[in-house]
Structure 1
Amino acid sequence: MTQQDERTSLWSLLGDLPPRDRPIAARLVWRRDGGAYWLERLTLDLNGQEPVPAYFAHPKGDGPFPAVLYNHAHGGEYEIGKEELVAGRAALQKPPYVEALTRQGYAVLCIDHWLFGERRGRSESELFKLMLWRGQVLWGMMVYDSIRALDYLCARPEVDAGRIATLGLSMGSTMAWWVAALDERIKVCVDLCCLTDFDALIESRGLDGHGIYYYVPSLLKHFTTAQINALIAPRPHLALAGDLDPLTPRAGLDRIDAELRRAYAEAGAPKAWSMVRYPIGHYETAEMRAEALAFLSQWL
């Protein structure tokens, strides 16, 4: 089975999704001067079901710029959403990623995912149950919105569509590696603190550490975490993890690292895969921030 066949199989597990080719409408709410960058607040029609608030930022000066699809975290803080990009959160270093990324010359897009930011109002379990009745999968609808956001990002005239990365912490980390696995337009993937081996999570009885959004029916019948991530090869992929993080059991990190080392070697790109681990829990350190930015600089 080819990688594209495996992507098709993985996509098929994500429930009944809206068409991939429906037009995307965008409305500019406001545009502000961020000092070294321009910041736009947008409302996007990505899925035809509810509007998607978003931030888009790009450096001042002449583009097109390489870009990052930034994925916000969960942490039970439903009010944050896309605000993480511009204001940060306790688990992340300062400055916020909008400043760190635009300072290095990247444009960046971040959307509010279902339940978060300006899309909050229902509980996670309520929306999961509603979608289940309708033949939808909450994670599938989140991934769909991310890929449609990527469609929008590629169409921006300020963006070099041939140089797009994805990055995120926690839920944003999981989104980064799913989107990179499913869409080859992502040229670089950086995930922080959530490259979770499914079997190791079961063995450590850590399933309740993730929200119900995380669970895709029948996924384990078809894919391991490493098999999903192998679909990113040979594109560059950096995983940053804490050995004391209960969401990423150490035995699972060992397993993923070994399998991806093998997958990247077989793809002829052994240096494009890197896992860096720290004796910490579920948060970003200054060293991790430096590693992430250096990896983007090296490969994007």
Structure 2
Amino acid sequence: MITAGSKEELIQDKKSRRKELYGLLGRLPDRNRPIFVKLISREETDEMTIEKLLFDINGEELVPAYFTKPKNTIGKVPVILFNHSHFGQYEVGKDEFVKGRNEMQKPPYALALARAGYAGLCLDMWGFGERHGKAEADIFKEMLWKGQVMFGMMVYDNLRALDYLTTRDDVNTKRIGTIGMSMGSTMSWWLAALDDRIKVCIDLCCLTDYQELIAEKGLALHGIYYYVPDLLNHFTTSQINGLISPRPHFGLAGKLDPLTPLKGLEKIDRNLKEIYKHDGASDAWQLKLYNVGHLETAEMRKDIMDFFKQWL
């Protein structure tokens, strides 16, 4: 049960729990180290501007990224931090954002967001896209030896990307959202849980209850990056996602998706409904299930864009 408390106590509790969650992510670079960014190229299409950027974010390896925005925009625009998926296709990475992929709808999200008036940013995560080369398992094992956590380093890069977005004079820092599918879905709810500068969170096809995943013997279905040491001694999936409340959060999942056991989705939904009700924002949490597996449908895409329009 959720205990009663003042608004100040609730805010402080979430702040301390965010600190605890961040502390599970291993030895991370200095959160305040300088960020250096180089503009590699700028392309104008009929509908948007695409900047290719190269970040020095973490001090270990450079991070390529795409920043997009609607063409001929004036002033500050809302922005979506887009998190690419996995699918074992390590060469894709951030290209998913601008070129799309077979498991997702057309047009690619960069163009869909630009048409709706949003800018977007997507990084190559560790081991993907232009950072592809070293095997995921090798990255995970080497980091483990160093006291690092692969998912923690991924989260760190994206939090620093959020820091970068707040420095741009064409971004409305009060209107920042995040979205992703599969691995990107998990990244979205972790980022929103850790940083309340994200005002709207949408996760697509990877809101997974850890205990139900174990019960259904589904651990092998997720990549090794996914596993954060000692996490289950501190947090459930619902407790992590509860840190997003009262900010708007939309989860979309397939009833036939083995990566997100149905019993787990039902458990998360019950828990988050209680948390959001307690925080006075019952309408800001939504979970919608679709009769599909691990993919994005046209209905999902419409629901996603409608949610952004409503809340961001």
Q: Secondary structure at the match of 1:155?
A: coil
Q: Secondary structure at the match of 2:199?
A: strand
| Alignment partners' CA distance in 2, 1:17 and 1:190 | 26
Shift of 1:155: 1.1
Shift of 1:35: 1.4
| Alignment partners' CA distance in 1, 2:14 and 2:254 | 29
Instruction: Flag structure 1 segments of 5+ consecutive residues without an equivalent.
Output: none
| Alignment partners' CA distance in 2, 1:153 and 1:169 | 21
Q: Secondary structure at the match of 1:90?
A: coil
Shift of 1:279: 1.1
| Equivalent position amino acid for 1:216 in 2 | V
| Alignment partners' CA distance in 2, 1:266 and 1:111 | 35
Q: Which residue of 2 aligns with 1:37?
A: 48
| Alignment partners' CA distance in 2, 1:153 and 1:91 | 28
Shift of 1:156: 1.1
The answer to whether residue 183 in structure 2 is matched with residue 175 in structure 1 is: no
The answer to whether residue 284 in structure 2 is matched with residue 253 in structure 1 is: no
| Alignment partners' CA distance in 2, 1:45 and 1:157 | 20
Shift of 1:59: 1.1
Contact 1:168–1:176 under 8 Å retained in 2: yes
| Alignment partners' CA distance in 1, 2:283 and 2:125 | 33
| Alignment partners' CA distance in 2, 1:162 and 1:24 | 21
TM-score (norm. length: structure 2): 0.95
| Alignment partners' CA distance in 1, 2:278 and 2:160 | 31
Q: Secondary structure at the match of 1:274?
A: strand
Shift of 1:90: 1.1
Q: Which residue of 2 aligns with 1:185?
A: 197
Q: Which residue of 1 aligns with 2:214?
A: 202
Shift of 1:140: 0.2
Q: Which residue of 2 aligns with 1:25?
A: 36
TM-score (norm. length: structure 1): 0.99
| Alignment partners' CA distance in 1, 2:100 and 2:191 | 22
| Alignment partners' CA distance in 1, 2:204 and 2:17 | 24
Shift of 1:34: 2.0
The answer to whether residue 164 in structure 2 is matched with residue 157 in structure 1 is: no
Q: Secondary structure at the match of 2:202?
A: strand
Q: Which residue of 2 aligns with 1:4?
A: 15
The answer to whether residue 227 in structure 2 is matched with residue 215 in structure 1 is: yes
CA-to-aligned-CA distance 1:149-171 (integer Å, 9 cap, x gap):
11111111110011000000000
| Alignment partners' CA distance in 1, 2:31 and 2:45 | 33
Q: Percent identity?
A: 57
The answer to whether residue 239 in structure 2 is matched with residue 234 in structure 1 is: no
CA-to-aligned-CA distance 1:229-285 (integer Å, 9 cap, x gap):
000000000000001000000000000000000000000000000000011100000
| Alignment partners' CA distance in 1, 2:311 and 2:106 | 23
Contact 1:58–1:158 under 8 Å retained in 2: no
Deviates more, 1:37-46 or 1:228-237: 37-46
CA-to-aligned-CA distance 1:125-145 (integer Å, 9 cap, x gap):
101010000000000000000
| Alignment partners' CA distance in 1, 2:309 and 2:70 | 16
The answer to whether residue 295 in structure 2 is matched with residue 283 in structure 1 is: yes
The answer to whether residue 57 in structure 2 is matched with residue 57 in structure 1 is: no
Shift of 1:63: 2.3
| Alignment partners' CA distance in 2, 1:238 and 1:63 | 28
| Alignment partners' CA distance in 1, 2:220 and 2:309 | 36
| Alignment partners' CA distance in 2, 1:155 and 1:9 | 27
| Alignment partners' CA distance in 2, 1:140 and 1:171 | 13
Contact 1:139–1:213 under 8 Å retained in 2: yes
Pairwise mapping of residues 78-97 of structure 1 onto structure 2 (< 5 A)? 78-97=90-109
| Equivalent position amino acid for 1:50 in 2 | E
Instruction: Flag structure 2 segments of 5+ consecutive residues without an equivalent.
Output: 1-11
| Alignment partners' CA distance in 1, 2:75 and 2:262 | 42
Q: Which residue of 1 aligns with 2:4?
A: none
Q: Which residue of 1 aligns with 2:3?
A: none
